[in-house]
Amino acid sequence: MTTQSYAHPEVLVSTDWVAEHLEDPQVRIVESNEDPLLYSTGHIPGAVHIDWVTDLNDQVRRDYLDRENFEKLMARHGISNETLVVFYGDKNNWWACYALWVFQLFGHEKAAIMNGGRKKWEAENRPLTRDVPKYPPATYKAPQRADYKVRAFRDQVLEHVNINGPLIDVRSPGEYRGELLHMPDYPQEGTLRGGHIPGAKSIPWSQAANEDGTFKSVEGLKELYEAQNGFNPDQSIITYCRIGERSAHTWFVLRYLLGYENVRNYDGSWTEWGNLVRVPIEK
C-alpha cells in the first residue's frame, strides 16, 4: 500500500520499514496499548512500552504530564529531540495515535505511526520478543506544553457549539444516541447522562480503518468525511469520544492523512461533558 497520496506521508511507515529499522539508532519503536499487559506477552524487538495511564498522565489531576516529566520520560527511553519515534499498538492503533497526540503537546514532530499496528505485524508472522530493551539515557529538551494547538477544552467546545462549529463524535452509534455510556461490552459507568454534543456528527473512529488495521486510502477517507458528511479542510473541527483516545485516532486521520490544519481533540470528551451542569445534550 502506498502512502504517497496522503497529505503527510512521512507520518506513516509500513511493517516492512519497521522490520528494516529495528536496530536503527535514530529510530525508537514505541508500543502503546489499551491493555497495559499486552506488551509483556510479546512486542516488536527493541520496542519500548509507554503506558497511557502511568506514563502520559499526571498522577494527581486529570491532565497530562508536564514538561519536566515529559523530558524524563523521553530520556529514560533513550529518545532525543532528533529521534524518530514510531508508535504502534492494539485496537487498530487508536492508543498509538493517542500517544502521538500527547507528544504533539510538546511539539515532537519526528513521530510516525506503523500502519496496521500490532494486528498487521502479528498477521504477517513477524518476530515478537519478551525481552525488555535498555537504552542509554538521552538528553531531551521540551518546550512548555502547547495545548492550544491540538487540544480543546470544555469552554472552547461550548463556544464552538454556540457558533454551530463542526464536531465529530467518534464513539459507537449506541453511545451517540445515548443508549450506552461506554462502548459495548464495557462497564456502563462514568457519566450521569448519555447522548452527544449538539451539532456533532456521528462517524465512528473505526470507519477510517481497513480490516487489516491499516488506514483507508485518501479516496476512502475523503468519501467518508467529505462526500458523506460534508466536512472540508477549511473548517475548524473538534473531535471527541469518551476520554479522548478514540478521537485522537480521528484527529490523526484528519490532521495528517487529509491535511486538515485546524483540528483539535477534546480529551475531556464524554466523561466530562456528560457530567457537566448546564450544558446542552442531544439524543
SS3 252: helix
What are the pLDDT digits (tens) for 249-269? 999 999 999 999 999 999 999
Tell me the average pLDDT across 133-159.
Answer: 96
Cβ neighbour number for residue 103 with a 10 Å cutoff = 23
Q: What is the pLDDT of residue 2?
A: 47
Strands 48-49 and 111-114, sheet pairing: unpaired
Q: What domains can be seen in the chain, in order of their start residue? A: 9-146 (3.40.250.10), 151-273 (3.40.250.10)
Q: What is the pLDDT of residue 187?
A: 75
Residue 54 or residue 187, greater confidence: 54
Report the number of secondary-structure helices (H) and strands (E) in the chain: 11, 9
Q: What is the pLDDT of residue 185?
A: 74
Buried b (16+ CB within 10 A) or exposed e, 243-254: bbbbbbbbbbbb
Looking at the chain, the whole-number percentage of residues with pLDDT higher than 70 is 99
Number of residues in the chain: 283
Is pLDDT of 192 > 90? no
Give the cell for residue 243: 476520554
Instruction: Point out the catalytic residue in the list 241, 243, 254, 258.
Output: 241
Mean pLDDT, the chain, integer:
95
What are the pLDDT digits (tens) for 200-227? 999 999 999 999 999 999 999 999 999 9
Q: What is the pLDDT of residue 36?
A: 87
HSE of 62 in the Cβ direction (CA atoms, 13 Å)? 8
What are the pLDDT digits (tens) for 17-56? 999 999 999 999 999 999 989 999 999 999 999 999 999 9
Distance CA 12, CA 282 (A): 36
Distance CA 96, CA 243 (A): 15
What are the pLDDT digits (tens) for 62-93? 999 999 999 999 999 999 999 999 999 999 99
Q: What is the pLDDT of residue 1?
A: 42
Give the cell for residue 184: 459495548
Is pLDDT of 276 > 50? yes
Looking at the chain, the whole-number percentage of residues with pLDDT higher than 90 is 93
Buried b (16+ CB within 10 A) or exposed e, 72-93: ebbbebbbeeebbbbbbbbbbb
Instruction: Based on the residue annotation, tell me whether 241 is a catalytic residue of this protein.
Output: yes
Q: What is the pLDDT of residue 191?
A: 86
Tell me the average pLDDT across 155-176.
Answer: 97
Is pLDDT of 231 > 60? yes
